[in-house]
Amino acid sequence: MTQSILPIDQQWMRHALALAAQGKGLVEPNPMVGCVIVRDGKPLAEGFHQRFGGPHAERQALAALPADCDPAGATWYVTLEPCCHTGKTPPCSDAVIAARPKRVVIAAVDPFSEVAGRGIDQIRGAGIDVEVGVCEAEANRLNAPFIKRVRQQKPWVIAKWAMTLDGKIATYSGNSQWISGESSRRRVHEVRGQVDAIATGIGSVLADDPTLTARPPGPRTAVRIVMDDKAELPLDSKLLKTRDAAAVYAVVRGDAPQQRVDALRQAGVGLIVNESGTRTGGVDQLLNWCHDQGMSNLLLEAGAGAMASFFEADAIDEYHVYIAPKLIGGSAAPGPLGGIGLSQIAQSPQLEPLQVESIDGDLFVTTRRVSRG
């Protein structure tokens, strides 16, 4: 019979979650996981999954134990169920059992089909007390991109835009540089360096000629993807001039002019052909392609048209909005979401309460789509 959850359990688990978060951008498509080994109220060792293909958190914690320390009888705090299968590394459940803990506290069950409760059952089967669900919501939030990839076979989509206080992302003439401040732009570059892909629309490329790279580079190098129905991506664009630094792909319609399609292919652009002929179909096909490439997350930095395509496809999971103390005005100045839009307020996707941070005069607002299960 397992013991009841103790008040101190949440404290240690939150410490393990903070450790796990250090793997962001380094371990994908694996989940971020942290582990702390505690005995008599004192930590013996800790570890986290540091890189894809490297040792998992449990084995990192074991490796950090002092040479003269026997971990028998300790309590283990692990943010995700220990794996029980052999992948790039051996099963962690075996290592946990061999360490002879008195108790194992786990935040969340691993949704991956080859684990999914089996690791927990194996540890319990060895006569070890196991508690599951301590800080579960926090653990699942941390690994939301991993969970979505496993359950829905699609990457986590973050929509980012900068806008003025009156809700404009550009002037009526298309000028948008720069709405947000330098510190806000640095934050955007940090996120770019943590994701697998960055998507934009051809309108943004033609208007701004962006590079869409992380400066300075982060732990991941994102591929750049252009939603480009007619294969209009200029061959002299900064995206193509920097394709040696990061790959470039274009989502083109099946009826795009063949001459332009061939020119992009010859220029080294990877092509994703949208045979559906619809904007939302193109989004869905892109997300399926991202999953097939092993991608966990995609950052959407686009104008009103491409942003609307993802919105209409109900494909956005998280929003990063930078609000600057500027005003533009004008009915012809675009807002962040184009398209037809919703006819009723009640149709709006349900979002979590806003999180607001001040960044050198700008407001940084984040929210997520309420979990769809």
Read off the pLDDT of residues 236-261 as tens digits, 9 standing for 90 and up. 999 999 999 999 999 999 999 999 99
CB proximity list for 286: less than 8 A, separation 6 or greater: 199, 225, 227, 251, 272, 274
Structure confidence at residue 2 (pLDDT):
44
- CATH architecture for residues 7-147: 3-Layer(aba) Sandwich (3.40)
Whether 371 has a pLDDT exceeding 90, the answer reads no
Task: Identify the band that residue 372 occupies on the pLDDT scale cut at 50, 70 and 90.
Answer: low
DSSP single-letter state for residue 345: G
Structure confidence at residue 5 (pLDDT):
67
Whether 113 has a pLDDT exceeding 90, the answer reads no
Whether 1 has a pLDDT exceeding 70, the answer reads no
Annotated binding site for Zn(2+): 56, 83, 92
Same fold for the domain at 7-147 and the one at 154-368? no
Whether 3 has a pLDDT exceeding 60, the answer reads no
Can you tell me the mean pLDDT for 70-85? Answer: 90
Whether 262 has a pLDDT exceeding 50, the answer reads yes
Cβ-count burial 320-352 (b if 16+ within 10 Å, e if not): bbbbbebebeeeebbbbbbeeeeeeeeeeeeee
Annotated binding site for substrate: 176, 192, 212, 215, 301
Q: Which of 243, 189, 178 is nearest to 216 (CA)?
A: 189
Structure confidence at residue 25 (pLDDT):
94
266-303 pLDDT tens trace: 999 999 999 888 889 999 999 999 999 999 999 999 99
Three-state SS string over 130-197 comes to: EEECCCHHHHHHHCHHHHHHHHHCCCEEEEEEEEECCCCCCCCCCCCCCCCCHHHHHHHHHHHCCCCE
Structure confidence at residue 61 (pLDDT):
95
Residue type, 130: V
**Residue among 28, 46, 58, 131 flagged as catalytic:** 58
Told to judge if 182 belongs to the known catalytic residues of this protein, a careful annotator would answer no
Distance CA 344, CA 348 (A): 8
Structure confidence at residue 364 (pLDDT):
97
In three-state secondary structure terms, 251 is: strand
Annotated binding site for NADP(+): 162, 178, 208, 303-309
Distance CA 121, CA 97 (A): 12
- CA-based R_g, the chain, Å: 23
Distance in Å from the first CA to the final CA of the chain: 30
157-208 pLDDT tens trace: 999 999 999 999 999 998 888 899 999 999 999 999 999 999 999 999 999 9
Give me the chain's average pLDDT, please: 93
**114's tokens:** 């080859």
Please state the pTM of the whole predicted model: 0.91
DSSP single-letter state for residue 47: E
Task: Identify the band that residue 373 occupies on the pLDDT scale cut at 50, 70 and 90.
Answer: low
Distance CA 107, CA 134 (A): 5
- Residue 354: alpha-carbon gap to chain centroid: 18
Structure confidence at residue 86 (pLDDT):
65
Q: Which of 146, 80, 141 is nearest to 115 (CA)?
A: 80
Domain ranges of the chain: 7-147, 154-368
- CATH architecture for residues 154-368: 3-Layer(aba) Sandwich (3.40)
In three-state secondary structure terms, 259 is: helix
